[in-house]
Structure 1
Amino acid sequence: MLKLWGRASSSNVMKVLWALTELGLDYERIDAGGAFGKTKDPAYRAMNPMGLVPTLEEEDGWSAWESNTICRYLCNAHAPGSTLYPTEPRARAAVETWMDWQTSHLTSPLVTIFFTHIRVPEPDRDWAAEKKAREDAGRLWKIVDRALEGKRFLCGDHVTLADIALGCWVYRWFALPIERPDLPNLARYYEALKTRPGFVTHVALPLE
C-alpha cells in the first residue's frame, strides 16, 4: 500500500490527499512534520533530503517528494487514463502551467497572509507585509478569475491537477478574515470545488 508521510494540516499534504481521493487509491498516511517530528530522522531524510512534507513511499521503498511531482506521479503510475492529468500535449501543458504558476507566484503571498492571521502570535504580526501580500494576491487572483470565464474548473468541465494545486489556497483565501476584491468567477469556482469530496474532506478544514 502507498504511504504518505505528512501532517494533515499541511497545504502540500492536502494536495496529495485530495489527488489520492479523486483517483480512488488506497493509502496509509503517517503523521510527520511540525509537532510530529520525524522529518529530521536519517530514514526520512533518505527518502526526502529536504526534510519537508509530503513524501510518498511505494511498497518497494521507492519514494517521491514535492507535492506537485507526487500528484503527477500518482496519475502516471497508478491512473494513467485519469482526466486529472490529460495526455494530450496541449491539455497537459495547460494543467502544468497552473501547477507551476501556483508554486512560482501564488504560494508566496498566500503564505504571508495565512501565517500572519493563523500562525504568527498577534504581537509579532507584520501588518505592512500582510497588506502588500494581500494586494499581490489580489492581482494574481484576478488572473485566475479571467481564466475561469465560461468554465467550471480551470481547464474546462473536469477537475484536473491544476485545480488540486490551487484549491488549498482558494479555500484559505475565502476562509481567512481578510478584505478581498470582488471576483465573481473565483467565487463561483470556490463553490464548484466544494462539490468535490476530496476537497471537503482534506482541504476545507479549520485553519491551524
Structure 2
Amino acid sequence: MIRLWGRLSSINVRKVVLALQLLELPFERLEAGDAFGVVRTPGYLARNPNALVPLLDDDGYELWESNVIVRYLAARYGREDLYPHDLRARFDAERWMDWQQTTLNPAGRDAFVQLIRIAPAARNQALADTSVAATEPLWDLLESHLADRRFMAGDRLTVADLPVACEMHRWRGLPLAWRERPRLDAWYGHMLALPAAAGVLDLPLS
C-alpha cells in the first residue's frame, strides 16, 4: 500500500500526486504540513528529519524529496516511457526536473508567497515584482526550448514534464497577466488534458 503524507496546497505534494495518478497507482494521502501539523511529531521526524512534505511510504520503503519520489515511482513501476532506460534520454529528463527545482521554483517563489499566502495589506510588492522579473524570462526559455520538441525532454511525456507542469499551474494561478507563448501554452494544454491532472492541475492556489 502506498501512503503519501502532505497537503495538496504544496506544489511538491502535487507533483507526487500527479505521478501517482498518471501511473494509475492506488494510494492513500494523509494531510500533513502547515495547518495540518504532523511534520514535527517524533514519528514523522523519524521518517523525514527535514519536517517537510511530501513523504512517501511504499510498502515500508520511505522516501522524501518530491522529484526523487517522482523518479522512483516511474522506475519502480516499470514505466520506461516516463523514465527512459537509455541514460542520455533519462538524464535529459532529470536535467529539467533539477532545473525546475533549482531555477524555476526559486525564481517564482516570492511572487507566489506575496500574492497568495500574504494578506494584501502586509505584502512586499517589491519582492513580488523582483520575482516576476526573474521568472518571466524562464518561461521565454521554455518557449524557445519547445521549438523542436513536444515535451520537456523530447517528443513524449516523461518525468521531466510533471514538476514543470505543477510550476506552471502555480504561476498561471497568480493574479498576473499571462503573455501568450504558443508552444508553451500548447504543452500545458496537453498536460491539463491528462486524466491524471484532475484534482492537481485544476486546484485553486492556497
Q: Choose the corresponding residue for 2:91, options 76, 93, 96.
A: 93
Deviation string, structure 1 residues 153-193 (Cα, Å, up to 9, x no partner): 21233221111011111112222211334422212222111
Are 2:117 and 1:135 aligned? no
Distance apart, 1:197 and its partner CA? 1.6
Deviation string, structure 1 residues 107-154 (Cα, Å, up to 9, x no partner): 112221111111011111111111111111011111111111143221
Aligned to 2:37: 37
In 1, distance between residues paired with 2:199 and 2:149? 24
TM-score normalised over the length of structure 2:
0.95
In 2, distance between residues paired with 1:183 and 1:134? 16
RMSD, aligned α-carbons:
1.3
In 1, distance between residues paired with 2:9 and 2:171? 16
Distance apart, 1:200 and its partner CA? 3.0
Distance apart, 1:6 and its partner CA? 0.5
Q: Could you say what secondary structure the match of 1:202 adopts?
A: coil
In 2, distance between residues paired with 1:125 and 1:18? 31
Deviation string, structure 1 residues 48-89 (Cα, Å, up to 9, x no partner): 0100000001223x3100000111111222x22331111111
**What amino acid maps onto 2:34 in structure 1?**
G
Q: Could you say what secondary structure the match of 1:25 adopts?
A: coil
Aligned to 2:194: 196
**What amino acid maps onto 1:48 in structure 2?**
N
**What amino acid maps onto 1:34 in structure 2?**
D
**What amino acid maps onto 2:195 in structure 1?**
P
Aligned to 1:75: 74
Q: Is the Cα contact below 8 Å between 1:23 and 1:82 reproduced in 2? A: no
Distance apart, 1:41 and its partner CA? 0.5
Unaligned runs of 5+ in 2: none
Deviation string, structure 1 residues 10-61 (Cα, Å, up to 9, x no partner): 110000000011111111111111111100011101110100000001223x
In 2, distance between residues paired with 1:141 and 1:87? 29
In 2, distance between residues paired with 1:42 and 1:58? 20
Unaligned runs of 5+ in 1: none
Q: How many residues align?
A: 206
Q: Is the Cα contact below 8 Å between 1:138 and 1:180 reproduced in 2? A: no
Q: Is the Cα contact below 8 Å between 1:114 and 1:172 reproduced in 2? A: yes
Q: Could you say what secondary structure the match of 1:86 adopts?
A: coil
In 1, distance between residues paired with 2:131 and 2:26? 38
Aligned to 1:19: 19
Percent of aligned pairs sharing the same letter: 38
Q: Is the Cα contact below 8 Å between 1:15 and 1:67 reproduced in 2? A: yes
Q: Give runs of aligned pairs for residues 167-182 of structure 1, distance below 5 A.
A: 167-182=165-180
Q: Give runs of aligned pairs for residues 43-62 of structure 1, distance below 5 A.
A: 43-60=43-60, 62=61
